[in-house]
Structure 1
Amino acid sequence: MPEFCVEGVLPDKRQVAASFSRAAETYDAVAELQRAVGEGLLARLSDDFVPQRWVDLGCGTGYFSRALGRRFPDSEGIAVDIAEGMLRHAGALGGARHFVGGDAECLPLRDASCDLIFSSLAIQWCANLPAVLAEASRVLRPGGVLAFSSLCIGTLGELRESWQAVDGFVHVNRFRPFDEYQHRCDESGLEVLELSTEDRVLHFPDLRSLTHELKALGAHNLNPGRPGGLTGRERVRALIAAYERFRQPEGLPATYRVVNAILRKSS
């Protein structure tokens, strides 16, 4: 049996969970960037590191639960996500031994019970980064590794700047600055083996293609202060005109500023 404790999902996470649950069936079809980022994170793990038990934190559709299962076939895998719809989708495809509903800020796992916590593009949705790092430290065994990728300020900057030219509402998800990741990781008590950023740029033929992908991913605007109701046609036309200023030969760019981190618990 897995070493689980009482599960706790905070009420203020319900909107995030519901959004990603709705996107479970459409996510993989548009998740090229998410796969590339996670594969890059997986490649950062040392070849000689073989965990007895691993956790895919924020497993989503389970793409990386299956990848971790292939890489560590003799290890016990636990896939954790706050979105029930994602867990159902992932569980049907396998990869991990256990699929568990849980919150990264209050993990339903026992102290010192795991050797690897792998989390790709999930932590940016957690408001309390110190709590996430503290929970990872609690759950990891001595010598265990937290490997995560996340997003920081600079992500979707073209879309944010284009909306700023139209109105004052919050239309683009907010992300924490990279220096906050640095500060919080330094404070965590975990040894920082790597902490870096990289820009990954996608290109779209038009604005509708970009916004359709964000919706299919479940990553459309979830911020407080976002406008309610339908966006007026005039504002949409103004947004399109503003975004066209960024057009490149490949199309309209959408920049994702990715944080990559490898942290280790002292032996």
Structure 2
Amino acid sequence: MTDAATAPTLGTESALPDKRQVAASFSRAASSYDAVADLQRTVGNTLIERLPCSTAPARWLDLGCGTGYFSRSLASRFPAGEGVALDIAEGMLRRARPQGGASHFVAGDAECLPLRDASVDLIFSSLALQWCEDFSAVVGEAKRVLRPGGVFAFSSLCSGTLQELRDSWQAVDGFAHVNRFRSFGAYQHHCTHSGLQLERLEVEPQVLHFPELRQLTSELKALGAHNLNPGRPGGLTGRARIRALIDAYERFRTPSGLPATYQVVYGVLRKEMT
């Protein structure tokens, strides 16, 4: 685990995926997402357990709600509260609405929330904000819509995620086949300068294992999280390159299988009382 005091230097946030492509990709993946979202469940449940004990929101926001799994968890945890589920992907919202959980389902952008000032007590966001190019805008919007004393709790991904896949592709052709994510130092910088009280910020690796590479790549596609990089190579990938990729990835194999490491950032911030 790495804490904020030992964060690396601030890194570039350029060349993150275009949000329109992100929305379209996750909309297409809405029907397959839940079947392969074990990591997302683990991380989101960890984030819920890291909410301050005093958290009892009259109104909460599930920011980047996806299919609504954690909207339903929040509704169960805070039955007296009113819930708002928001996502940029219309396909995800169509999947989430019939299952309930939140009182309102809203299409919107984390960088420009369609909510009034000081209108929510808790913003919960799990594994969504890595797709936002302007994280300073995200925390600025969180500060704006939170009521005094409100909590902004998020999990996200930082650089080093899927490094095994990135390194394997680098050995094959040098192109960017794996999504880029901002550095942990960038999260530290934006949270420290957010105007919110920083209660915790840390990065913890989560390592999944797969018997074969195709299981990993199929899961990424089913999640909607396959390569969304601007400037990514187009067209089909030839058999020879896939064979070379498989061979390159094999050097990472362990007794548990082929590892896929996710660098998960957890943050909890609070708006000061006035």
Pick aligned residue for 2:235 from 224, 229, 234:
229
Show the counterpart of 1:144.
150
Question: 5+ unaligned residues in a row in structure 1: which ranges?
Answer: 1-11
Cα distance, 1:48 vs structure 2: 2.5
Cα distance, 1:169 vs structure 2: 1.1
Query: Residues 230-249 of structure 1 correspond to what in structure 2 (within 5 A)?
Result: 230-249=236-255
The 3-state SS of whatever aligns with 1:245 is: helix
Show the counterpart of 1:76.
82
TM-score by length of 1: 0.95
Alignment of 1:178 with 2:221, yes or no, is: no
Show the counterpart of 2:135.
129
The 3-state SS of whatever aligns with 1:25 is: helix
Cα distance, 1:14 vs structure 2: 1.4
Alignment of 1:105 with 2:129, yes or no, is: no
Show the counterpart of 2:200.
194
Which protein, 1 or 2, shows the higher relative CO under an 8 Å CA cutoff with sep ≥ 6?
2
The CA distance in 2 between the partners of 1:133 and 1:94, in whole Å, is 27
Deviation sequence 1:103-128 (CA, Å, 0-9, x none): 00000000000000000000000000
Show the counterpart of 2:10.
none
Pick aligned residue for 1:252 from 235, 250, 258:
258
Show the counterpart of 2:218.
212
Matched residue pairs, number? 256
Pick aligned residue for 2:122 from 100, 116, 123:
116
The CA distance in 1 between the partners of 2:52 and 2:130, in whole Å, is 24
Show the counterpart of 2:71.
65
The CA distance in 1 between the partners of 2:109 and 2:54, in whole Å, is 30
Alignment of 1:94 with 2:97, yes or no, is: no
Pick aligned residue for 2:171 from 145, 165, 168:
165
The 3-state SS of whatever aligns with 2:32 is: coil
The 3-state SS of whatever aligns with 2:30 is: coil
The 3-state SS of whatever aligns with 1:165 is: helix
**RMSD over aligned Cα atoms:** 0.6
Runs of 4+ in 1 over 2 A off after TM superposition: none
Show the counterpart of 1:39.
45
Cα distance, 1:206 vs structure 2: 0.4
Cα distance, 1:46 vs structure 2: 2.1
The CA distance in 2 between the partners of 1:168 and 1:225, in whole Å, is 13
Show the counterpart of 1:21.
27
**What amino acid is aligned across from residue 245 of structure 1 in structure 2?**
R
